């Protein structure tokens, strides 16, 4: 079983690196999202659904910046204008999807309810759906690092 896992990781190094980077960025995104949402609510500036949208946007923006720099070091073949443009456009698409998911979950499903469980459900859905969509689009459009490609093609 362990050898199977090692072989799978070796064969899918790009995905594993992208996934691990995304996990790190997700923790950062959640922390920022939660802090901004709770801060806006505590100051009485916005109602729960609008505060969740603002918090989510802040978390995603910071996550984008961190993810871009880490991915261009570990997953993709360097950082150039084309890579940045593709990364940015797919990020915008992912942000739109994430915001739509947050809106649907927090406003339409939970009717502006405030609480950790509602935050967690909305955030989890808004992370998972854009993750897979943007990963596969980027995989098609952005060249991978040679070290990742060589291992996948050697099999």
Q: What percent of the chain has pLDDT over 70?
A: 94
Count of the separate structural domains present in the chain: 1
- Of 33, 2, 29, 4, the closest CA to residue 118 belongs to 33
Question: Is 3 a domain residue?
Answer: no
**Contact by Cβ (8 Å): 26, 70:** no
Cα–Cα distance between 29 and 150 in angstroms, integer?
Answer: 32
pLDDT tens-place string over residues 72-125 = 998 988 788 999 999 999 989 988 998 899 888 888 888 877 778 888 888 888
Q: Which two tokens stand for residue 134?
A: 């943007």
More confident residue, 62 or 155: 62
- Of 71, 79, 73, 84, the closest CA to residue 24 belongs to 71
Domain that holds residue 20: 14-148
The pTM (predicted TM-score) of the whole model is 0.72
Q: What percent of the chain has pLDDT over 90?
A: 35
Residue with tokens 């940045």: 84
């Amino acid at each position: 079983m362990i050898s199977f896992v090692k072989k799978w990781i070796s064969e899918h190094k790009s995905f594993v690196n992208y996934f691990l980077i995304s996990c790190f960025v997700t923790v950062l995104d959640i922390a920022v999202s939660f802090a901004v949402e709770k801060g806006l609510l505590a100051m009485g500036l916005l109602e729960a659904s609008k505060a969740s949208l603002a918090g989510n946007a802040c978390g995603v923006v910071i996550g984008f910046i961190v993810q871009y720099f880490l991915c261009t070091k570990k997953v993709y073949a360097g950082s150039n204008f084309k890579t940045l443009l593709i990364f940015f456009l797919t990020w915008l698409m992912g942000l739109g999807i994430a915001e739509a998911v947050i809106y649907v979950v927090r406003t339409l499903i939970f009717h502006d309810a405030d609480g950790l469980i509602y935050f967690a459900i909305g955030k989890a859905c808004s992370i998972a759906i854009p993750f897979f969509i943007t990963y596969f689009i980027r995989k098609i459009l952005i060249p991978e690092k040679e070290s990742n490609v060589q291992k996948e093609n050697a099999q």
